[in-house]
Amino acid sequence: MKDEKQTKFVTEHDVQDSGKTNVKPPFVLSEQNRRQFIRVEIVSPLFIQRIKSVEGDFWPEGQGQPVEASIVNLSLGGVLIDLNDPFLPGDIVALRFNLQGEVIVENVLGLVKRSDESEGKYLTGVEFVDRNKLEDILSEAELNMLPLEFSGFDISIQKTLRKFITEE
C-alpha cells in the first residue's frame, strides 16, 4: 500500500457565465483547461467489505471486519484502490471513507470491475452501484435482506458536496 494516504476526488462542475463557483474550506477549487474541477483531498483510508462474492456467498451485513485500503483515484463513477487482500471482479462490496475529515461517506455499494495483482498488492477498480443496479445481480430475497442504509455513491456524495459548494 502507498505510504501517502491522500488522494484527490475530481469531478467536473459546470460553470455558468453569470456566476462564480466557490467552495467552502477545507476544500479547494482549481481550474484546468478553462474548466473548473472540484478536488477534494481524502486524508483517511478507505474500508471495503464484501457483501456478495462472485462465487455466490452472501453476507447482507458484510463479511467480517472491513479491509483497509488506500485510494488511488476517485470519481463519481467509481474508485481505484490499492489493497493487500484480493477482491474479484463481480464481488459486491460496501465502502466507507471520509472526505477531508469533514464528512464520513459510508455504506456505499460497489461492484468490483477489475483487480490486478502486482508484488502482493491488488489494484482494484470498483464501480459505484445503487440498489436498482443490484436488481440484476441479487435475487429478490437477497435484495430484501440487504440493509436499507446501503446506497449508491452519487446520492451520498451529492448530499456531502452540496454542503461545501456554493454558486453566486
The DSSP element (H or E) to which 72 belongs, if any, is strand 67-74
Q: Tell me which residue range forms the domain holding 118.
A: 44-152
pTM, to two decimals = 0.70
* Predicted confidence (pLDDT) per residue in 9-65, tens digit: 444 444 444 455 566 665 555 444 332 333 344 545 899 999 999 999 999 999 989
* Predicted confidence (pLDDT) per residue in 106-145, tens digit: 899 999 999 999 888 999 999 989 888 999 899 999 999 9
CA atoms within 13 A on the CB side of 150: 28
What is d(CA 28, CA 22) in angstroms, rounded to the nearest whole number?
9
Is there a domain that residue 59 lies in? yes
Phi, psi of 91 (to 5 degrees): -65, 140
> For residue 118, how far is the Cα from the chain centroid?
22
CATH of the domain at 135: 2.40.10
Is there a domain that residue 13 lies in? no
Q: How far is CA 161 from CA 17, 53, 103, 105, in A?
A: 21, 31, 10, 11
Instruction: Say if CB 146 and CB 130 are below 8 A apart.
Output: no
Give me the number of domains the chain comprises: 1
Is there a domain that residue 75 lies in? yes
What is d(CA 130, CA 149) in angstroms, rounded to the nearest whole number?
11
The DSSP element (H or E) to which 122 belongs, if any, is strand 121-128
